Each structure stands twice: as C-alpha cells, then as structure tokens.
Structure 1
Amino acid sequence: MPAPGRNRFERADAPSVAVVGGGIAGLAAAVLLAERGARVTLYEREEALGGRLAGRRTRLADGSTATMSRGFHAFFRQYYNLRGLLRRTDPDLARLTPLPDYPLRHSGGLSDSFARVPRTPPFSALGFVALSPAFGWRDLATMDARAALPLLDVRVPDVYERFDGVSATTFLKSVRFPEAAHHLAFEVFSRSFFADPRELSAAELLLMFHIYFLGSAEGLLFDVPDAPFPQALWEPLGDYLQRLGATLRTGTPVHGVRPHDAGGVTVRTDTAAHPHEAAVLALDPGALRRLVAASPGLGTAPWRDDIAALRTAPPFLVSRLWLDRPVRADRPGFLGTSGYGGLDNISVLERYEDEAARWAARNRGSVVELHAYALAAGAAPEKVRSTLVHRLHEVYPETRKARIVDARHEWRSDCPLFPVGSHHRRPTVRTPHPRVTLAGDAIRCDLPVALMERAATTGFLAAGALLDGWGVRGQVLWTVPRAGRSPALRALGALAGRRTHP
C-alpha cells in the first residue's frame, strides 16, 4: 500500500529525478514519478525506449520495411502491475491480443496444451496433471509425495530461505518428478529464465509454479501485442511521459552517478554532468555492474560487492525468417519446444502481429521466429542459426521447401541469472543512499513476481521509495497471494517444513 501523504508535488517544490534506463522498469518508475509531479529526465543509451523489448526498423531484401526486435514475449494475465503500466495509454488493453493456447512439444512425440486446464486453484494443478500425457498413473505412484509438498504451499520470501540452495533439477529429482513432464513442461519454464535448470535456483521454479498454478486463477494463457513493441507499447508511453512534462534523452548513455553528502545526485553523460535530486537506476545486470564500477562514490563496499556478484544469463539467439510460402494453417502463433537440439520455441508472427500479417498476405508467405536460450559460452552464432533452421524443418516439415527471403538475428547476453544460492546477495530497491534506488528484473523485492512483472513492480517500488521520502503517495501494487490460496493445500505443504530438503 502507498504510504500516507499528499497526492503530488506542488510545482514550486517538484524535485528533479533522473531515471537511468528506458526499459520496463525505468518506464514504470518514470511514469509514477511524473504522474506525481516530479521533474523526470529519462536517460536511455539506445535510440528507442523499451530496453530488452525495444525494436528497430530494418529494410528487407524485397524492399519492404519491418520492425526487428528480440521477439516473442508472453504477457501473462498475472502481470497485474505491467498491465497497469500499459493501461496508462491503452485503458482496455486493446493492443494486446490473446493467444488461444500455450502448446508444448517434445521431440519424443509428446505434446501438451493449457487451453483446457482449469484456471481455479487447486484444480489448475490437478487438471494439468490429469490432462498432460507426460503424467501416467505409474509415474504418479512413484513420485515422492512428501518431497513434492512444498509445491502446494509456496510462501514468499520463505521459499528462498528453504530452496535457494537447491537447483531446479535437483528438486525435481528429489520429487521423482516424471522424466517426460520434467522435459516437456518444467524445462521449458525454467529456460524462460534463460537458464539451464541444473543451474537455476529451485526457489525460482517453485515461485513460478505458485504464480501460474496455485496462486492465481488466470492460468497459463497469455496475451501478445498486436503490433511490434515500439508501436504497440513504448511509443505511446513515451508520448504519455512527455505530456506529463518528462524529458526523454534517448541515445544518451550514462557513464557515472555521484551522490552528494549534502543531498542530490550528479549523472554524467558524454556531454555533461547533470544535477538531480534523486536517481532511479533501472538497468540490466551487466550495465548496472559497469555503472557502479565507474561510480566510485556510489554505495558501501559490501553493497558494491553484491552488485559485482550479479550474474548474467548465458547468451541466447533470436532468428526471424521471412519465408516465401506459408506454414500450415493449423500451426499455432507460439509453440514451446524441448528436445530439439537447442530450439526452445517457434513463433508464427502473422498469427498475431499486424505488420507481419501484412507482409505474409502480400507475399503469400510467413514470418517465423526461432529462439534458443542458455547457449554455451563458446557457441558459434552461425552454427546455432543453421541448427535452428534445421530444427524448424524437423518440427514444421512444410518449411523445408520455403525460400528464406530475408533473415534478422539477435545474439544477446544481458538477462539476469538466478543461480543456486544467489538470492541473499541480490540488491534490493533501496540502496545505501536514500535518494538512489534500483529497479529491474534482477532486483530483489520479495514479492511473488517474475520476469517482466518483476521489472514493472520494482520500477514502481523504486519510484515509491523516493516519493515516500518526500511525503508523496506512491501507488497500490497487486500480486498473486504470497502464499497458496487453498487452506487444505497449505496445511499439507506445511508438513514439508518439518522435513530437511537434501
């Protein structure tokens, strides 16, 4: 809940606040501060807003223009705070369109669907087990029910205290989770954190199970923007910020931040040192590490050590292909894949994105996107690209005859990694300086949120922490419950608290 206080600043006492980073977290912080009357300057090193969901215009070989981005992202319906941010410019969320299913496919022949899974907990989890071909009665009989009890009562932040020291793979093995379900479902989910499940903290996997199965009634269905990210999301939010009086400095990297003992913060760019009364640092882990290392007066030695310890996930590849013939009409807009040699999902963009739909209709083709997460550090991009195309041919055989009209690729390594035992060192929104706060999906906030929703939530929290210091209200934040909804399941889950996990 927002702290008591006045609703907004008066014009005469409005503070100047720097927001460093124009991704989801930075936009959330900037929007709340500007709505409360602060004089906001947003610094973004790239030429466009959106951070890891930004887009850029590119000209294809056929002369047409397209918007290239880092590709498919699922806007789950449990992303209450992110959706609240988007409602600032789209009150009915009309620019988000639902996809009818979240299908999964394993190379061994098994496939899964969430379209028919009930949404109300605990029937959501029970329905998933009952309907999934990855679970058989024999599998259920061999599972260690007592070891699985923590899945029924995930509590935040208690889940980190109990399970952050265990990998996702180790936890699932202790439960004797069916191997097929492990690969078909949980591996797909864990890799959505851009991590190998052998390295990912089990606490993050348990939290995800809580968010999507037992802590909410929205299920695992999701929405996607009906246009490229810039047009659907970020350009409208940028216009909204400017109408509120904010200054947007895109193409402006920040090279240092210096807090002053007497108050205030100086932000250093290529051209000048800019004085502000406060700052929100909303950066990916690598950028935050570099900025803190270049800002010797920022923070205490232990805090700086914790920033330096932030890990970046392994590289990933997004390949977008413009094909001269369509994929089969029954292919879904999104398909999660496992067991296909590094291919993690396939998207058919014309199923939901207007720009891709126009290109596909004009050329009687398809726009297909391939993702590969958690790649080996020494992997050769060209080899991975070639492998993904071969895997596409395996999953969607009709693409073997298609000619690639053009292709664009994004090879990146800038997402946070949540390895085993790292939670206690993750920095929080508040820093040693009361006028400097942090935001982003790598930042700890001890609420049941993940991925894009963690970015939006910490952005609002970072702005709210500054506003609280000035006696101005923040905003109400929404999350799934911190504990399971079902008293019966919570009681069962509590039994696991008496058991020491391996």
Structure 2
Amino acid sequence: MVEPRLLVSPGTSSMLPWFGLLLGLLAIPFAFFLGLKALIRARLGGYKHEFVRPDPSAPLTKEALRSVAVLGGGVAGLTAALTLARRGYPVTLYEKKAFLGGKLGSQREPVLAGQETWVSHGFHAFFPHYHSFRRLLDSVRICELESIDDYVICEKSGAMTRFRGVEPTPVLNLFGLLRRGLFSLKDAVSAPGRDLYGVFLEYEADATFRRYDSVSYAEFARRGRVPPRLKLAFNTFARAFFADEEKLSLAQLIKAFHFYYLSQDGGLLYEYPIRDYEAGLMRPIAEELESLGAEVRTLDPVREFSRTLEGFQVNGRPYGAVVVALDAPALGPLFLDAPGLPEETRRRIGSVRAGQRYVVWRIWIDKDIRESVPVFVITERERALDAVTAFHRFEVETKEDLKSGRADPKTRAVLELHCYAVPDDLVDAEIKPTLFGELLRRFPELEGASVLHEWYVVEQNFSAFHVGLEADRPTVETGVPGLYCAADWVKLPFPAMLLEAAAASGYLAANGILAEDGLRLEPIVTVPLKGLMAGMPAPKTRVELLGA
C-alpha cells in the first residue's frame, strides 16, 4: 500500500493559518475595489443606455414610400441616407465635393511629383463608446481596424504623459491623473479647486448649460487656478471643439469630459483604420447606397431649398422629406430666407456658426520620428501644433507609395500636422513655419529635415461651440413635418461628440421620418445621460467664483 504524501512538511503546517490570514487581508482591498467599481456602475445606471428601443411588432417598410433628399454627404448624412435606403425609401444624396465622408473623407491629389495619392482631412479615433458610429461601421464591409498602443501627450519640455494602464472606471480614472502628476491632492482639497472641479462629475445637460454656457473655459481655468499639467489634460478634451480657450464654452468642456472620461469604462485607448478613408470606409458605403437604388450626387451643391404644399423642393426637384446634414457655413445662405419655412426654423438653422480655421498639413520628409512615438500623438501647443500622425507606420496606401517609388526615394516619414483652432492673429503665411518650428522643438531628431512633398489645407467649416450659443442650437426635430437635422452642430438629447454625434444624429433624423410613416425605429444606445454627482447643489464658493 502506498502511503499518502503530505502536501506540506510538518514543520510548515503551523504557517497555514497565517498564510490564509495574509491572503484574507490582501483580499480586503481587492474586494473593496471591486465593490467600488460596481457601485459607480450602478450609480450611472450602467455604461450603455438604451435611448431608443424599437417596437419589434412595428413594420420595417411599406409600399409607396415618399422620396427623401439628404443634404450633405458627411457621416451624419451617410448614416441617415443608408438607414432610409435600407428601408426602401427612394433617397437622393447631395454632396458639393467630389468625395463622400466630409471630415472623414479622402481624395486623390497630385502631390507626389505630379503623381496622385490619397490624402484625408486628418486622423480620427474610433473610441469604444462611439455606439452609433460603431453600429454604422459594423453594418458595412469596412477595412481592418488597429488599436492604439497608448494615448500620449507630448509636453513642451519633451516629456510624454501616457495614459496606458490607467484604470478605466469613471472617477477611479481620476486617480490615474493624480498618479501621473497632473494634479496633487492639495490641488483637489484646497480652495478654489475643491469647489470648482466638481462640475465635471455633475454633468446634466439642462443644468450644466444653464449655469456654465456663459462662462469660457479660459475663465474657469483662471478663476480655478487649474494646475498647468491638469490644464494640459483638459485641453485634450477641449480640442474636440476646434476652439481657443477664450471662446470655448465651459459647459461644452464639461460635456466632453463626461462623454470621454467619466461616463464609460473603455478608457482613452481607441482603434483606427489602417486603410485610407475612401478605400476603407466610404467606398463600401457608397457602393451599398447605389446597390439599394439611392442616387448619390457628388459635385452637386444644394443651391435652392424651399417648402412647398406637397413637401419640399431641392435644386428644383420635389421630395417628401429632407434631412439637413450640411456643414455650418452652408446653412445661412440656404435657410435664412428659405421660402415656406416658419421664421423660427429659418433663424435657428440659418444662424449656426462656423468655428475657427483648422489646418491639416501632410508632409513627406527625409528623416523619421523616433520609434517610441505612437502613430498619433497629441502635442502641448505653443501656438499652433496640436497633434502629429505618422502615416508611414500604419496606412496601407502610404506604405505602397513608398514601396512603389511614387514618393521621393529619400522619404523616411510621412507626417500629418494638425492645428485644430488657428489663432485669429496667425496669418496664413505664418502657419506652415509655425507648425514646422514647433514640430522640430518637440522632436529634435527631425532637425535638418527637408520637406519633399506636401499637401496642405486650411478649412473653416467645423461648427462653433463657443460661449453662449447652446440656447439657439437646432435640434434634430425642426417642428416642420418631414424636415430633420443631422450633424455634429445639432443639439442632441444625450451626450455625444464628433463622429459619434454625427452618426447618432443621422439615426435620430432617420427615426423621425420612420416614426412619421409608422415604421419601426432604429435602436440607439448612449453613454449615461448624467454624471455621477448630477443634481448636487453647487457650493456657495463656486457660485461666487463663476457667477453660476
């Protein structure tokens, strides 16, 4: 008979109770941590909220559907057009440019010694909580996405602030900012910070905009004596509005911080397409629209719009419904005097303002940026440079240009420099030298680099989210049957930004038309509508400091 062996020696058996006690003690903070995460999730009602839950008994389509004109071929317009075309509506999409996608679009330009290559309007991050935008992508055959290794801010000193490894749970992620030295405990518990920083946890649309839309982000930073490195983090979210600090509404910044950092547990890491936007995203959408019988009219700007007894007229053609998804600068000339519309509708849509100029400058240079820099890095701005993208490290088309010899053989890097809000006093002739000088100071390994090819664009077509504009911002529903708005300039009934705001507004506009026709709505999922501490009374000191 084989004797059973002891798992521990007799001399160590007395240690087992102590070992168990040690494990128990270690489990206490872990259990507390898990409990805290569960409590935060419960307080927010979960991280995904069903804003629209379709009635499964409602029909998907019916015969003799009215025709729909979608004005604008950006993400919002494409979302509305594709949704309605899939339901059987005769859809006509109007787009003034030769390509679709708007700020997510791409076009071929003869920048490589006369040879054409694909260039886009800048790098875009696809965050995990972009629920509507992700739904659009999932519904079409798009290219492969890759995940960013790290979310990095390059400071003026050259130091890199990295967010990889930050606990993604809302509120707990604030300790990640603390550990990285963006603020101190003293900053958080001492006046005036202790009385002001709570605004970021208290987001609730009506109250937040009523109190803080008249206050600029710059004024908040001054009165709150925001530490420089914490201000650097806030600036990252402020850039989503393409506005300088003096112009940006504090309420909009609170919404952005809630949406990106305090309402979801996916963190700041994101995905991005490895193909050019035209090949990887827009072409599949355009092909499906055409296969569904939709008419895609590129190079056909909307020149005339009116409401008629039968419906609407666009460029002399009749339609039963219209989705307005144009850039901000196009709205005033078209709608302020649009025949047949109520005065209030004309005023609201026609008064949408464009923000500041922004710049995208793609350069082919004979030196490479250091390997430790991710494909996209945010830069602490001196005057103009906000971000740098290294396209030669991930984009298929750029790599093919270099491999095939279409680009100058001396090319070592293809970088895209971004300025999201050009200062009003920076004249056009100074923009390139300013951007390039800041690039060299951030990345000294590029000193002496020569620009071999370039593509450069200055635009002013992003919506303004400046102080005091929210009250008059149009909503998706215009009050006119059959007329809906879809764009990132629309006031949504839930927090969303950039690509997510565009896609969500497109689904909401399509739902408006579907609802009028008695058809099943499209589902819409959002982040929590309110912050963790929404409804808390504002401290007296905050009211005195901000006047709100």
- In the alignment, which residue of structure 2 is the partner of 1:168? 217
- The aligned counterpart of 1:104 is 153
User: Aligned partners of 2:112 and 2:291: how far apart in 1?
Assistant: 38
Match of 1:25 in 2: 76
1:14-413 aligned within 5 A: 14-62=65-113, 64-90=115-141, 95-131=144-180, 133-142=181-190, 143-182=192-231, 184-261=232-309, 263-268=310-315, 273-293=316-336, 295-297=338-340, 299-360=341-402, 363=409, 365-377=412-424, 379-413=426-460
Coordinate RMSD, CA, aligned: 2.1
Contact preservation (8 Å) 2:361, 2:418: yes
TM-score, normalized by length of structure 2?
0.84
Q: Does 1:6 align with 2:6?
A: no
Provide the secondary structure at the position in 2 that maps to 1:9: coil
2:471 counterpart residue number: 424
Pairwise CA distance, 1:110: 4.5
Paired with 1:496 and 1:390, the residues of 2 have a C-alpha distance of: 44
- CA 60–375 in structure 1, closer or farther in 2 if over 3 Å, else same: closer
Instruction: From the superposition, tell whether residues 170 and 400 of structure 1 become closer, same or farther in structure 2 (CA, over 3 Å).
Output: same
Identity of aligned residues (%): 33
Shift of 1:18: 0.7
One-letter amino acid matched to 1:348: A
Secondary structure at 1:128 match in 2: helix
Q: 1:444 aligns with which of 485, 491, 494?
A: 491
Question: Residue 63 of structure 1: CA displacement?
Answer: 5.5
**Does residue 1:469 correspond to 2:516, yes or no?**
yes
Which residue type is aligned with residue 252 of structure 2?
E
- Whole-Å separation in 2 of the counterparts to 1:432 and 1:257: 17
Q: Is the 8 A contact 1:430 1:437 kept in 2?
A: yes
> Match of 1:415?
462
- Displacement after TM superposition at 1:97 (Å): 1.5
SS at match of 2:525: coil
* 2:482 counterpart of 1:435: yes
Q: Please, which runs of 5 or more residues in structure 2 have no aligned partner? A: 1-51
Distance in 2 (alpha carbons) for counterparts of 1:174 and 1:450: 26
Are 1:455 and 2:498 matched, yes or no? no
Q: For 1:174 and 1:380, locate their aligned partners in 2 and report how far apart those are by CA, in whole Å.
A: 31
Q: Is the 8 A contact 2:490 2:505 kept in 1?
A: yes
Please state whether the residue corresponding to 1:428 is helix, strand or coil.
coil
Larger CA deviation: 67-76 vs 300-309: 300-309
2:265 partner letter? A
TM-score norm. by structure 1 comes to 0.91
Q: Equivalents in 1 of 2:127, 2:65: separation in Å? A: 36
The alpha-carbon deviation at position 141 of structure 1 amounts to 4.4
**Contact 1:300/1:432 (8 A) holds in 2:** no
1:139, distance to aligned residue in structure 2 (A): 3.2
Q: Is the 8 A contact 1:107 1:338 kept in 2?
A: yes
Q: How many residues align?
A: 486
Deviations 1:115-154 (A, max 9, x none): 12111122122222222x3323443343521322221221
SS state of the match for residue 13, structure 1? coil
Report Cα offsets for 1:392-424 as digits up to 9, x if no partner.
111112222322110010100000011111111
Does the 8 Å CA contact 2:202/2:530 hold for their aligned counterparts? yes
1:482 aligns with 2:529: yes
Mark the CA change 1:250 to 1:56 in structure 2 (over 3 Å): closer, same or farther.
Answer: same
User: What SS is found at the alignment partner of 1:18?
Assistant: strand
Structure 1: which amino acid aligns with 2:253?
L
CA deviations over 1:377-404 (Å, ceiling 9, x no partner): 4533232012111211111122223221
Segments of 5+ residues of structure 1 without an aligned counterpart are none
Whole-angstrom distance in 1 between the partners of 2:370 and 2:403: 14
